[in-house]
Structure 1
Amino acid sequence: MQPAYTDTYYSRTTATPERYPAAAGRIEADVCIVGGGLAGLTAALKLARSGRKVVLLEAQRVAWGASGRNGGFVSAGYATGLVAIERRVGPDQARELFRLSMEGVEIVRNTIDVLGIRDAHSVPGIAKALRYDSRGALKQTSERQQSEFGLQLRYLPRDEVRELFISPKYHEAVLDEGAFHFHPLNYARALAREASRLGAAIHEHSPVVAADLDGARKIVRTKSAEIAAEHVVFTTGGYTGGVLPALQRSFLPIATYVLLTEQAPELVQGAIRTRAAILDDRRAGDYYRLVDGGNRILWGGRITTRTTDPRDIAALLRREMVTTYPQLSDLQVEIAWSGLMAYARHLMPQIGQWKPGVWYCTAFGGHGMNTTAIGGTVIAEGLTGESDRYRLFAPFDLAWNGGIFGRAAVQLTYWSYQAADAVKEFRAR
């Protein structure tokens, strides 16, 4: 019997039972995609629609990794801010990149509509909440983004914030009414289902063990199969192996943690009186939303460079939840889980062509729901010659992740963020 998904809220509420066979034998294809997360599935679907013969290889199950066990937030932007992107590439290219992130949101939204993915359970609204008074900076930033990009943002002053989030911690927020949150695993499985219907061959439990990427026809090998293709697209993330060392060295696997509370509608809705998701704006902050019809809280937060779960994962997250909402002190945790995201040092996705016929699309940590969609799309466009928009990401290439020193730097940076956040909160009291 094939192993199941990691035990999460999403795996417990998976809508459909389909499985895909492991790859076997000699297979000819136009494109071989390595990685069955949202980026790979988006590319597979677009390429299948264009008539390409696609083979997708997934080491575990479709969307088994971060793609199927994240917070489910779909909003514009990247893991780093617009100002940081401007410093690296200039204002014009930064604006183009931001608009691509907005397009990623619309790709997900339109796909849900076109395919009728009711089990994606899309809910509008994501609020970015601050634990201090920004003295006009938050409102100014939101007004700039409204003016430049047409985002549907609404500033929420302190009184309105505390009517929606019954917590003494929050001072102001911005509600992105064009963003939404959803069930990422059901969405990903619907992508796989549609790509398969259009002729893409999807293979689960087919980890790649070797690849010859130098010839005109690339050869990708699993334990039981050999795939020959003109193009190979690597769309793996935090669980990437060593088949393409340049890719594995270019980002760090970072763990994040999520819990699901017990079912307690009165208690839950007495603390959170909005169906919008909440993104705590602390750089070391939390993200959470109501699920199961508003009866439970899905709460995520904390990051670490360790790739094994701490024993007290549920207790750590629950402490954050109760500190924010003391009235939830009696609310119990039903399950907790973790997942590995891929973060590059520049905090941008890595999207491009490594050599002729070899493409990469990865490092979506922190903002993957929109960037996986646009990443898979622009790679498919580049491969077919429809556009060269993937080149906009060229300044954010496969830079070395720093190895063990990179891991230490990331963890130290996260701890420094936590300290800075604590100082801001203390001053706001």
Structure 2
Amino acid sequence: MAPSYIDCYYSRTLATPETYSSATGRIQADVCIVGGGLAGLTAALKLVRSGRSVVLLEAQRVAWGASGRNGGFVSPGYATGLASIERRVGPDQAKELYRLSMEGVEIVRRHIADLGIAEAHPVPGIAKALRYDSKGALRAARDKQERDFGLQLRYLPRAETRELFASPKYHEAVVDEGAFHFHPLNYGRALAREAVRLGAAIHENSPVLSVSLDGPRKTLKTKDAVIEAQEVLFTTGGYTDGILPALKKSYLPIATYVLLTEHAPDVVRSAIRTSAAVLDDRRAGDYYRLVDGGNRILWGGRITTRTTDPADIAALLRREMVTTYPQLADVKVDVAWSGLMSYARHLMPQIGQLQPGVWFCTAFGGHGMNTTAIGGTVIAEGITGESDRYRLFEPFGLAWNGGIFGRAAVQLTYWSYQAADAVRERHSH
């Protein structure tokens, strides 16, 4: 029997009941994918459409990890900014990578339209809101993004910002009209259904216990199955274990937290008067949106290298929410949850080929809805020989995560971001 999903808004609103049996016996395939999150599912669908035989092994359930319990924001960009990408690869390649992230948004939008995934409930608009006066910098950044990439961005001055977000904290905002937010778990499960309809084999509750990757035919073993494939793709994200040491050593598991409020339509709409999702501009900021037809708030924030849940997860997040919107002081929390994201030290996805026939597509950080889509797509193109676009990510390889020191450095960096954000906010009041 497949294990259950973590209790959260998305698992409570599953559109369909299907499960997939665990792997048994001897299985042959052209490609074996390890990890049933959005990167693995996107790659599986593209590969099976290209005529490859595909088997996908998932240790828990399809989209069980960060893929199925995140904020649901689909917008261009990566976990790091364009300026830091430019410093690594130069302006031309940085622009090409950014355009790939825009393509990732369109891949998700196209899947929803073409496969009729109504249960993904896409809602247009994501606002980036500032807790300080940028003195023209936000408007200038908006103009540059429109000029360079043709993004549809609407600038909101202070009065208009506070009209939409009834909070004393916000000074100005930019709304990306082309971005959207959605139900990622229903979306991921729909990709799985389509891949299976086209002939892919998906096995839940099938953790890989050992691998032999050196010969022309790769062998993977689960508790009850032996899988042989010409190509193996690892898309294991924040739950990567020691099966492939090079991957395990190159990412940091970072936890983020999300809550769902009770059903409180009147007070919820008195605070947030737009269906657009909101991304707080602080580097250690909040992200939130209305769900359940505008009757509840899904509020996420806080990141930590602590991979166990704090007991007061709901209280921690609720404090952030009420500090931003005092009118929500009496709104109760229905459920709170956490999930592990995988971050590389360079904050870019890790996408490429480890050795002949062994591929990886992981470390999507806090920006996985568009980047899992383009990552799964370009790695599938690499496997079939359709393109070598995955090579654009080569400068961001499997850098060592620094072990325990890397984890400490990330936590210290996050705290320093929080402090810097607080100082900037104070100076704007």
Normalised-by-shorter TM-score class: over 0.9
Aligned twin of 2:60: 60
Determine if the alignment matches structure 1 residue 382 to structure 2 residue 375: no
Q: Report how far residue 62 of structure 1 moved.
A: 0.2
Q: Report how far residue 2 of structure 1 moved.
A: 3.3
- 1:142 and 1:27 map into 2 onto residues whose CA distance is 51
Identity %: 80
- 1:312 and 1:352 map into 2 onto residues whose CA distance is 39
Render the CA deviation track for 1:124-164: whole Å, top value 9, x for unaligned.
00000000011111111111010110101011110100000
- 1:81 and 1:146 map into 2 onto residues whose CA distance is 16
Q: Report how far residue 368 of structure 1 moved.
A: 0.2
Counterpart contact for 2:128–2:174, Cα < 8 Å = yes
Counterpart contact for 2:271–2:327, Cα < 8 Å = yes
Matches within 5 A, 1:398-413: 398-413=398-413
Structure 1: runs of 5+ lacking an equivalent: none
Q: Report how far residue 75 of structure 1 moved.
A: 0.2
Counterpart contact for 2:29–2:54, Cα < 8 Å = yes
SS at structure 2 position matched to 1:188: helix
Counterpart contact for 2:3–2:205, Cα < 8 Å = no
Counterpart contact for 2:2–2:19, Cα < 8 Å = no
- 1:386 and 1:309 map into 2 onto residues whose CA distance is 43
Counterpart contact for 2:40–2:235, Cα < 8 Å = yes
TM-score by length of 1: 1.00
- 1:293 and 1:276 map into 2 onto residues whose CA distance is 12
Render the CA deviation track for 1:301-342: whole Å, top value 9, x for unaligned.
000001100000000000000000000000100000000000
SS at structure 2 position matched to 1:420: helix
- 2:233 and 2:356 map into 1 onto residues whose CA distance is 11
Determine if the alignment matches structure 1 residue 341 to structure 2 residue 341: yes
SS at structure 1 position matched to 2:239: coil
Render the CA deviation track for 1:27-66: whole Å, top value 9, x for unaligned.
1000000000000000000001011000000000000000
SS at structure 1 position matched to 2:227: strand
Q: Report how far residue 365 of structure 1 moved.
A: 1.3
- 1:4 and 1:364 map into 2 onto residues whose CA distance is 24
TM-score by length of 2: 1.00
Aligned twin of 2:118: 118
Aligned twin of 2:332: 332
- 1:345 and 1:137 map into 2 onto residues whose CA distance is 28
Counterpart contact for 2:2–2:21, Cα < 8 Å = no
Render the CA deviation track for 1:179-205: whole Å, top value 9, x for unaligned.
000000000000000000000000000
Render the CA deviation track for 1:341-395: whole Å, top value 9, x for unaligned.
0000000000000001000000011100000000000000000000000000000
- 2:395 and 2:133 map into 1 onto residues whose CA distance is 35
Q: Report how far residue 3 of structure 1 moved.
A: 2.5
SS at structure 2 position matched to 1:208: coil
- 2:251 and 2:4 map into 1 onto residues whose CA distance is 27
SS at structure 1 position matched to 2:347: coil
Render the CA deviation track for 1:158-177: whole Å, top value 9, x for unaligned.
01000000000000010000
Residue 12 of structure 2 aligns with an amino acid whose one-letter code is R
RMSD: 0.5
Aligned twin of 1:279: 279
Counterpart contact for 2:218–2:229, Cα < 8 Å = yes
Aligned twin of 2:210: 210
Determine if the alignment matches structure 1 residue 225 to structure 2 residue 239: no
Matches within 5 A, 1:22-421: 22-421=22-421
Render the CA deviation track for 1:74-98: whole Å, top value 9, x for unaligned.
0000000001100000000000000
SS at structure 1 position matched to 2:55: strand
- 1:363 and 1:137 map into 2 onto residues whose CA distance is 30
- 1:384 and 1:50 map into 2 onto residues whose CA distance is 8
SS at structure 1 position matched to 2:376: helix
Residue 75 of structure 1 aligns with an amino acid whose one-letter code is S
- 1:139 and 1:102 map into 2 onto residues whose CA distance is 20
- 2:339 and 2:168 map into 1 onto residues whose CA distance is 30
SS at structure 2 position matched to 1:267: helix
Residue 14 of structure 2 aligns with an amino acid whose one-letter code is T
Aligned pair count reads 429
- 2:184 and 2:151 map into 1 onto residues whose CA distance is 23
Counterpart contact for 2:210–2:220, Cα < 8 Å = yes
Residue 123 of structure 1 aligns with an amino acid whose one-letter code is V
Residue 397 of structure 1 aligns with an amino acid whose one-letter code is G
Q: Report how far residue 4 of structure 1 moved.
A: 1.1
- 2:236 and 2:196 map into 1 onto residues whose CA distance is 19
- 1:261 and 1:77 map into 2 onto residues whose CA distance is 28
- 2:119 and 2:86 map into 1 onto residues whose CA distance is 38
SS at structure 2 position matched to 1:270: helix
Residue 83 of structure 2 aligns with an amino acid whose one-letter code is V
Structure 2: runs of 5+ lacking an equivalent: none
SS at structure 2 position matched to 1:192: helix
SS at structure 2 position matched to 1:214: coil
Counterpart contact for 2:213–2:358, Cα < 8 Å = yes
- 2:145 and 2:386 map into 1 onto residues whose CA distance is 29
- 1:18 and 1:311 map into 2 onto residues whose CA distance is 32
SS at structure 2 position matched to 1:140: helix
Residue 64 of structure 1 aligns with an amino acid whose one-letter code is W
- 1:20 and 1:3 map into 2 onto residues whose CA distance is 11
Render the CA deviation track for 1:98-125: whole Å, top value 9, x for unaligned.
0000000000000000000000000000
SS at structure 1 position matched to 2:209: strand
- 2:365 and 2:56 map into 1 onto residues whose CA distance is 22
Aligned twin of 1:4: 4
- 1:212 and 1:306 map into 2 onto residues whose CA distance is 32
SS at structure 1 position matched to 2:85: helix
